[in-house]
Structure 1
Amino acid sequence: MHLDHTHPHTDRHDGPSAVSADAHRPDGTRRALRIGLGGPVGSGKTATVAALCRALRAELSLAVVTNDIYTREDADFLLREAVLPAERITAVETGACPHTAIRDDISANLEAVEDLEDEVGPLDLVLVESGGDNLTATFSRGLVDAQIFVIDVAGGDDIPRKGGPGVTTADLLVVNKTDLAPHVGSDLARMAADAKAQRAGLPVVFQSLRSEDGVSAVAAWVRGQLAAWTA
Structure 2
Amino acid sequence: MHLDHASPHDGPGAVGADALRPDGVRRALRIGLGGPVGSGKTATVAALCRALRDEASLAVVTNDIYTREDAEFLLRAAVLPPERIAAVETGACPHTAIRDDISANLEAVEDLEDEVGPLDLILVESGGDNLTATFSRGLVDAQIFVIDVAGGDDIPRKGGPGVTTADLLVVNKTDLAPYVGSDLTRMAADARAQRGRLPVVLQSLREEDGIRDVADWVRSRLAAWTA
Quickly name the TM-score band, shorter chain normalised: over 0.9
2:41, 2:33 → 1: CA distance? 7
Could you say which residue in structure 2 is the equivalent of 1:132? 128
Unaligned runs of 5+ in 1: 1-11
Unaligned runs of 5+ in 2: 1-6
Could you say which residue in structure 2 is the equivalent of 1:200? 196
Asked whether the equivalents of residues 38 and 131 of structure 1 are also in contact (C-alpha less than 8 Å), the reply is yes
1:18, 1:81 → 2: CA distance? 32
Q: Is 1:216 aligned to 2:226, yes or no?
A: no
Choose from 4, 8, 11 the match for 1:13: 8
* Counterpart code for 1:78: L
Structure 1 residue 21 displacement after superposition: 5.5
Q: Is 1:34 aligned to 2:19, yes or no?
A: no
Could you say which residue in structure 2 is the equivalent of 1:165? 161
Structure 1 residue 15 displacement after superposition: 3.0
Q: Is 1:84 aligned to 2:80, yes or no?
A: yes
1:51-200 aligned at under 5 Å gives the runs 51-200=47-196
Structure 1 residue 123 displacement after superposition: 0.1
Structure 1 residue 19 displacement after superposition: 2.6
Asked whether the equivalents of residues 150 and 174 of structure 1 are also in contact (C-alpha less than 8 Å), the reply is yes
Structure 1 residue 27 displacement after superposition: 1.2
1:53 alignment partner, SS class: helix
Report Cα offsets for 1:168-203 as digits up to 9, x if no partner: 000000000000000000000000000000002100
Asked whether the equivalents of residues 16 and 138 of structure 2 are also in contact (C-alpha less than 8 Å), the reply is no
Q: What's the TM-score, normalizing by structure 2?
A: 0.95
2:18 alignment partner, SS class: coil
1:104, 1:76 → 2: CA distance? 25
2:106 alignment partner, SS class: helix
Could you say which residue in structure 2 is the equivalent of 1:5? none
Could you say which residue in structure 2 is the equivalent of 1:4? none
2:159, 2:111 → 1: CA distance? 35
1:198 alignment partner, SS class: helix
Asked whether the equivalents of residues 147 and 172 of structure 2 are also in contact (C-alpha less than 8 Å), the reply is yes
CA RMSD of aligned residues (A): 1.0
Check 1:21–1:150 CA distance in 2 against 1; reply closer, same or farther (3 A cut): closer
The count of aligned residue pairs is 220
